[in-house]
Amino acid sequence: MAKDEKVLSSTSNNMHESQKNQFELKWFLRKNIVPVFFFVLCVIGGYYSGLPLPFLLNEIITRMARNSFLVISLIIPVLAGMGLNFGIVLGAMAGQFAYVATVNWQMAGLTGFTTTALLSIPLAILFGWLTGILFNHTKGKEMITGIILGFFANGIYQLICLYFMGNIIPIKVPSMLIPGSIGLRNTLDIKPMQYALDNLLKIQVKIPGHVFPVSIPVATFLAILALCLFTHYIVKTKLGQEFRIVGQDMHVAEASGINVDRVRIIAVILSTILAGLGQVIFLQNLGNINTYGSHVQVGTFAVAAILIGGASVKKATVGQALLGTLLFHTLFIVSPLAGKNLVGDAMIGEYFRVFVTYGVIGVALALHAWQSLQEQRRIALLKADISGE
């Protein structure tokens, strides 16, 4: 493709300017059809929602800040050939357990936040390790395993929170427990630690023509930047190379002496750790935890976001993660109101958003499966060509 472009540009003097632009535009559109489609959807939704620009921008920035980490955590398992890791739900649970501890110890502010983040790591390592072992037993079916594991782990999580908390696991702060019995309350208040990261460094930007400024939580974005750099770095290391090799062909990796099972587990552990940290960041912005609900949709939303950004089951980049987060959450914000203004009811917008979330994942998965089949057939034909005389 690159060669074609070069040929084109060298003969540009002979071509009509508009013709040349048209060709490149068409090619660009075809390659990036998914994010372009959703971009258009967002623009339409944004217009019809009637929301004022600074409000919209504030919301988008806030959501990007608190969600990007989670979406980026999906990248490494894709690299290592395990597809979309729906099991990041377990990472989110690690983060939430960490908060249970720090709220129990009545910690606050940046210290509280940092402790929570650090505490989430060993838990995430444990959960990630178990997930990795499970994935190694279900090679080829990692995605459905991750989906079901999410539900299963949620059941265990509920068991722990409803029956072990305040029971086997001592909780000192009575307001955390369900009044009159054991088990965590539906909502855990973490106001003492709210905005611990966000407020470290906040910039207010004024938009001409509007009264309210847009506030940007710089520290959080710096953390996201650090993650992006970290991800880039990992990919360029020997470990990253092992991920890529295992992701391309496990048999070749094995024959080359790589411990395939171990590499896969490491990939999942990394992903789970990042998801744990991501959930800690997410919750510090919200200020409270929906004990039985905050983590449930984490997998679905992150996967939908990265797919909307143009990633696939086989390839995912940081850019796609960020773009997807932007588009997905914009859609999140504008759909209910757009639905209300277009059709007369906010619920339509709600349902439409849910449909888009699931639909995007379904379509991406179907496309991936279909492409895999085509590739298998191509390889079989190639092998047939070779072995014939």
Partner 1 sequence: MEAPRLEMRDISKEYFGNKVLRSVNLSVAPGEIHGLVGENGAGKSTLMNILFGMPVIRNTGGFEGRIFIDGEPVEVNSPYDALELGIGMVHQEFMLLPGLTITENIKINREIVKDNLLSKMLGKKLGILDFERMRKDARKALDRVELNIDEMLPVLGLPVGFMQFIEIARELDKDSLRLLILDEPTAVLTEKDAETLIEVMKKLSREGISILFITHRLNEVLRVADNITVLRDGEVVGKLPSSEATIEVLAELMVGRKVDISARARRGFEEDAKPILTIKDLHVDMPGERVSGLSLNVQEGEILGIGGLAGHGKIGIANGIMGLYPARGYVHVANYGEVELNSPLSALSSGMAFVSEDRRGMGLLLDETIELNIAVQALLSRGKFLKKYLFNMIDRESIRKHALKMIKDLDIRCTGPNQIVRRLSGGNQQKVCIAKALTLEPSILFVSEPTRGIDVGAKKIVLDLLLQLNQELGVTIIMTSSELAELRSICDRIAIIYRGRLQGILPVDASDKEFGLMMAGELSAVKEGVF
Partner 2 sequence: MTSGDFNEHSLWQRIKEGVASFGVARSIILLFLIILLIAALILDLPMDQILSSMLSRFGMNGILVLAMIPTIRSGTGPNFGLPLGISCGLIAAVLSIELDLRGFQALFFAVGLGGALGAIAGYLYGLLLNKVKGQEMTVGTYFGFSIVSLMCIFWFLAPFKSPEMIWPYGGSGLRVTIALEGRFDKVLNNFLAFDVFGVTIPTGLLLFYGAFCLIVWLFMHSKTGVALSTVGESPRFAESCGLSIDRYRTIGSVVSQALGAVGIIVYAQTFGFLQLYMAPLFMAFFAVASILIGGATLNRATIWHATVGCFLFQSILVVSMPVANLIISENLAEVARIIISNGIILYALTRREIGGGA
In a 10 Å sphere around its CB, with 0-12 CB exposed, 13-18 middle and 19+ buried, how is residue 388 labelled?
exposed
- From the CB of 357, what's the least distance to partner 2, in Å? 8
Q: What is the residue whose two structure tokens read 């997998």?
A: 299
Q: Are 358 and 346 in contact (CB under 8 A)?
A: no
The sign of the torsion formed by the CA atoms of 285, 288, 291, 293 equals negative
Of 114, 138, 187, 341, which lies in the binding site for partner 2, with binding defined by CB under 8 A? 138
> Is residue 38 at the binding interface for partner 2, with CB under 8 A as the rule?
no
- The residues that touch partner 1, with contacts defined as CB under 8 A, are 233-234, 236-239, 241-242, 244-245, 248-249, 251-258, 380, 382-389
**CA dist., res. 182 & res. 173, Å (int):** 12
143 binds, among partner 2, partner 1, none (CB under 5 to 8 A by kind): partner 2
Number of other residues whose CB lies within 10 A of the CB of residue 36: 15
By CB under 8 A, name the one of 7, 155, 168, 236 that touches partner 2.
155
Window 224 to 253, contacts with partner 2 (CB under 8 A): none
Please state, in angstroms and as integers, the Cα–Cα distance from residue 136 to each residue in 306, 327, 384, following that order. 24, 33, 31
Pick one of partner 1, partner 2, none as the site partner of residue 4 (Cβ within 5 to 8 A by kind): none
With CB under 8 A as the rule, give the number of residues binding partner 2: 45
Q: Using CB under 8 A, which of 25, 144, 207, 382 touches partner 2?
A: 144
Q: What are the residues whose beta carbons fall under 8 Å from the beta carbon of 273, sequence distance 6 or more? A: 91, 120, 121, 124, 125, 128
* Segment interacting with partner 2, rule: CB under 8 A, options 157-165, 199-207, 209-217, 227-235: 157-165
Interaction partner, residue 28 (partner 1, partner 2, none; CB < 5-8 Å by kind): none
Q: How many alpha carbons fall within 13 Å on the CB side of residue 155?
A: 4
x/- string (CB under 8 A) for partner 2, residues 308-347? Answer: -----------------------------------xxx-x
Query: Quick one: DSSP state of residue 163?
Result: I
Backbone angles phi, psi at 68, to 5 degrees: -60, -40
Asked whether position 152 contacts partner 2 by CB under 8 A, the answer is yes
Q: Which is nearer to partner 1, 249 or 345 (CB)?
A: 249
Q: Which does 278 bind (CB under 5 to 8 A by kind): partner 1, partner 2, none?
A: none
Question: 214: part of which helix (H) or strand (E)?
Answer: strand 214-217
For partner 1, the closer CB: 7 or 255: 255
What does 344 bind: partner 1, partner 2, none (CB cut-off 5 to 8 Å by kind)?
partner 2
Structure tokens that stand for 2 in this block: 């690159």
Q: From the list partner 1, partner 2, none, which binds 144 (C-beta under 5 to 8 Å, kind-based)?
A: partner 2
* Rg of the chain taking only CA atoms, in angstroms: 23
Shortest spacing between CB 122 and partner 1, in angstroms? 16
Q: Which of 41, 64, 107, 147 binds partner 2 (CB under 8 A)?
A: 147
Which of these ranges, 46-54, 151-159, 169-177, 195-203, lies near partner 2 under the rule CB under 8 A? 151-159
**What element of type H or E holds 61?**
helix 53-72
Binding mask 341-380 toward partner 2 (x if CB under 8 A, else -) reads: --xxx-xx--xx-xx-xxx-xx--xx-xxx-xx-------
Tell me phi and psi for residue 215, to 5 degrees.
-105, 135
For the stretch 49-82, what's the b/e string if a residue is b when 16 or more beta carbons lie within 10 angstroms of its beta carbon?
bebeebebbbbbbbbbbbbbbbbbbbbbbbbbbb
Residue 123: CB minimum distance to partner 2, A: 20
Per the CB < 8 A criterion, the answer to whether 294 and 210 are in contact is: no
Residue 273 CA: distances (Å) to CA of 70, 191, 192, 270, 368? 10, 24, 24, 5, 27
Give the C-alpha separation, 383 to 204, whole Å.
61
Q: Does 148 bind partner 2 (CB under 8 A)?
A: yes
Stretch that binds partner 2, among 20-28, 154-162, 187-195, 240-248 (CB under 8 A): 154-162
Question: Is residue 179 a contact point for partner 2 (CB under 8 A)?
Answer: no
The footprint of partner 2 (CB under 8 A) covers 134, 137-141, 143-145, 147-149, 151-152, 154-156, 158-159, 162-163, 181-183, 343-345, 347-348, 351-352, 354-355, 357-359, 361-362, 365-366, 368-370, 372-373
